[in-house]
């Protein structure tokens, strides 16, 4: 039983690392119901089997601890709080509060690189030839967006163009949050029960072996 449990636990870890994934979701009052996340490697938009809607942002106070920000999120039902030490579990996923974002945070960017146009989430990377192009920063006061490729950086306002790593890049349009929002980490935990069950069987097998030896 111990060996079987260990095998099941190892298989669960392998499945979690191979098929489990995580990514960030930005929610603001104007994003409405969101059913996607930006993958951890920033390359893909991944569909979620549920929707997330930001109802409000509050501050929770606990005796002996500093106040902490919390997001009240609904998934088609009653609103539930999500804060750093209180993840929300839903449909085989764990939702963790990462941070708040202020009004003026960029949500979507429409850029042109050469003759091609791309509609990207903020910090979503796109690969052009051998270069990784990604937005990395923003200035709320000037609404400038920072772009990086091959260790080169440029800052652009809407309508501006520049040369970056041998590419011509233009910021055609951008959508900014008009109200504060939150960033949530959504992780796939479908295989976590396999891991715990496997190692639970392993511990049970060890306990039975030790009990048998003790009776002798």
pLDDT digits (tens), the chain, 216 positions: 444 433 433 333 333 344 447 899 999 999 989 999 999 888 899 999 999 999 999 887 765 666 677 899 998 888 988 988 888 988 888 999 999 999 999 999 999 999 999 999 999 999 988 899 999 999 988 999 999 999 999 999 999 999 999 999 999 999 999 999 999 999 987 654 444 454 444 455 555 555 656 666
What does the pLDDT read at residue 59? 80
Residue 15's pLDDT is what? 38
Instruction: Give the pLDDT of residue 17.
Output: 43
Predicted TM-score (pTM) of the model is 0.75
**CA 203 – CA 200 distance, rounded (Å):** 5
Query: What pLDDT, on the 0 to 100 scale, is given for residue 109?
Result: 97
Q: Which strands sit side by side in the sheet containing 167-176, from one edge to the other?
A: 116-121, 106-113, 167-176, 161-164
How far apart are the C-alpha atoms of 113 and 164, rounded to whole Å?
A: 10
């Amino acid at each position: 039983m111990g060996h079987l449990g260990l095998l099941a636990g190892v298989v669960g870890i392998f499945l979690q690392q191979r098929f489990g994934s995580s990514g960030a979701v930005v929610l603001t009052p104007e994003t409405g119901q969101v059913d996607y996340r930006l993958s951890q490697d920033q390359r893909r938009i991944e569909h979620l089997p549920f929707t997330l809607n930001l109802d409000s942002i509050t501050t929770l106070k606990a005796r002996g601890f500093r106040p902490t920000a919390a997001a009240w999120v609904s998934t088609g039902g009653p609103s539930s709080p999500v804060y750093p030490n209180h993840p929300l579990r839903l449909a085989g996923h764990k939702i963790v509060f990462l941070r708040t974002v202020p009004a003026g945070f960029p949500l979507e960017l429409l850029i042109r690189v050469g003759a091609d146009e791309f509609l990207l989430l903020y910090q979503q990377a796109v690969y052009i030839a051998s270069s990784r192009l990604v937005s990395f920063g923003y200035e709320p006061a000037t609404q400038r967006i920072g772009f990086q490729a091959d260790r080169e950086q440029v800052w652009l306002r809407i309508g501006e163009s520049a040369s970056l790593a041998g590419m011509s890049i233009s910021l055609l349009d951008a959508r900014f949050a008009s109200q504060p929002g939150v960033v949530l980490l959504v992780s796939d935990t479908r295989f976590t029960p396999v891991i715990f069950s496997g190692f639970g069987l392993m511990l049970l097998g060890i306990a039975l072996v030790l009990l048998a030896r003790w009776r002798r």
